[in-house]
Amino acid sequence: MTTPSPASRTETPIAFINAMVQAYAQRGLDPKQALQKAQIAPKLLNQPDARVTALQMEWMSEAAMRELDDEALGWFRRRLPWGSYGMLVRASLTAPTLGVALARWCRHHNLLTDDICLTLSTSDGQAHLELHEAHNLKDMREFCTVSVLRNALGVACWLADSRIPLTATQLQFSAPSHVDCYRVLFDVPVHFDAPHSQFSFEAGYLELPIRRDEAALQRMLQRALLLMVRPYRRDRLLVEKVRQTLAEHPAHSRNADDLAAWLNLSPRTLHRQLKEEGASLQSLKDSVRRDTAVDLLLRTTRPIKQIAAEAGFQNEKSFMRAFKGWTGRTPEAFRHNV
């Protein structure tokens, strides 16, 4: 087991560890072994202002979920056996967009427990993932609410391979003594004593395509708790906007200046933000051209010269050279699966 470095930030409240200890007590079990695995000294449990690292939180959560066979860690009246949340993610993998995937995730979560109800809604350009408490969660309210919302956000980011910055977070309970931790938990101002709990983000993210498959899911499940206890860093919203513009509005994307103006950005900002998202304008142009050409070759009988023009090439020769570089075959050979 890796030992947390002295520089590791201890910003997870001990209250969450105590909630897990309480789940052990409800089952008549001893949390000693889990605390040892997480390298959490028992004396910290009696220090309300104590903090642990994200890695310690991950270790403790995994140990408790396995020993209790409850991925809900005692939040609900009915246990969620080990593998429940993996099943939820698997059911969303085939969704065409993040919006469909999240709606499906909420609906299936509601089938697992009726203690809370999750819904996805949109208004005024914002998407809202809401948590409504249908049964009194009592002492588990804070830990459950924070965990479920952060898990939903982590799953959304993972499915779309994108960081999704929140615009607002509202929580039904009162501000706890460790309220300073919430700037890390949600990275946005948090409003307490709300009618119900929810987080919000730009609705445009709901249109992102799902970028994961079963193989990726199997790899993710080995460290799934990272989605809940640590923030996701990548943000591919601009990449998708550029890709969509290149495909649907070629007249506005002849060059970087035209594209940037269409997106209400400066050319410099466009290139910088694409670089931050791990992409370049040229790579996106090539990708859209390739997808367009492949689609037309397989779906139509149009001449190669016409397909070259529709894919954005000035002449057939340059198109054939580029296509062979992409696929290793000529357009005609590709069309006939030669």
* Structure confidence by residue, pLDDT tens digits, 99-117: 999 999 999 999 999 999 9
Give the pLDDT band of residue 45 (cuts 50, 70, 90).
Answer: very high
Going along the chain, which residue ranges are E strands? 12-13, 51-52, 116-123, 126-133, 168-170, 190-191, 197-202
Q: State the average pLDDT over residues 278-307.
A: 88
Q: Who wins on pLDDT, 163 or 115?
A: 115
**Rounded Cα gap, residues 117 and 105, in angstroms:** 12
Note if the pTM is more than 0.85: no
With a cut of 60, say whether residue 285 has pLDDT above it. yes
Scanning the structure block, which residue is given the tokens 């605390």?
35
User: Phi-psi bin for 312: left (phi > 0), alpha (psi -120 to 50), beta?
Assistant: left
Structure tokens belonging to residue 338: 């030669």
| Per-residue pLDDT at 273 | 85
With a cut of 80, say whether residue 252 has pLDDT above it. no
- How do residues 55-102 score in pLDDT, each as one tens digit? 899 899 999 999 999 999 999 999 999 999 999 999 999 999 999 999
| Per-residue pLDDT at 248 | 80
| Biggest CA pair distance of the chain | 76
Q: State the average pLDDT over residues 36-60.
A: 91
Give the pLDDT band of residue 13 (cuts 50, 70, 90).
Answer: very high
With a cut of 50, say whether residue 6 has pLDDT above it. no
With a cut of 90, say whether residue 193 has pLDDT above it. yes
Of all residues in the chain, the percent with pLDDT exceeding 70 is 92
Q: State the average pLDDT over residues 197-214.
A: 93
The pLDDT mean for the chain works out to 88
Q: Who wins on pLDDT, 254 or 232?
A: 254
Q: Which residues contact 263 (CB under 8 A, 6 or more apart)?
A: 238, 241, 242, 245, 270
**Rounded Cα gap, residues 244 and 247, in angstroms:** 5
Q: State the average pLDDT over residues 172-190.
A: 91
- How do residues 210-251 score in pLDDT, each as one tens digit? 988 888 888 888 766 655 655 555 566 688 788 888 888 877
Residues recorded for the chain: 338
Q: Who wins on pLDDT, 250 or 165?
A: 165
| Per-residue pLDDT at 88 | 93
| Per-residue pLDDT at 175 | 96
Scanning the structure block, which residue is given the tokens 């954005």?
312
Judge whether 50 and 14 are in contact, CB under 8 Å: yes
Q: Which residue type occupies 101?
A: A
Burial zone of 165 (CB within 10 Å; 0-12 exposed, 13-18 middle, 19+ buried): middle
- How do residues 315-328 score in pLDDT, each as one tens digit? 899 999 999 888 88
| Per-residue pLDDT at 3 | 44
| Per-residue pLDDT at 298 | 85
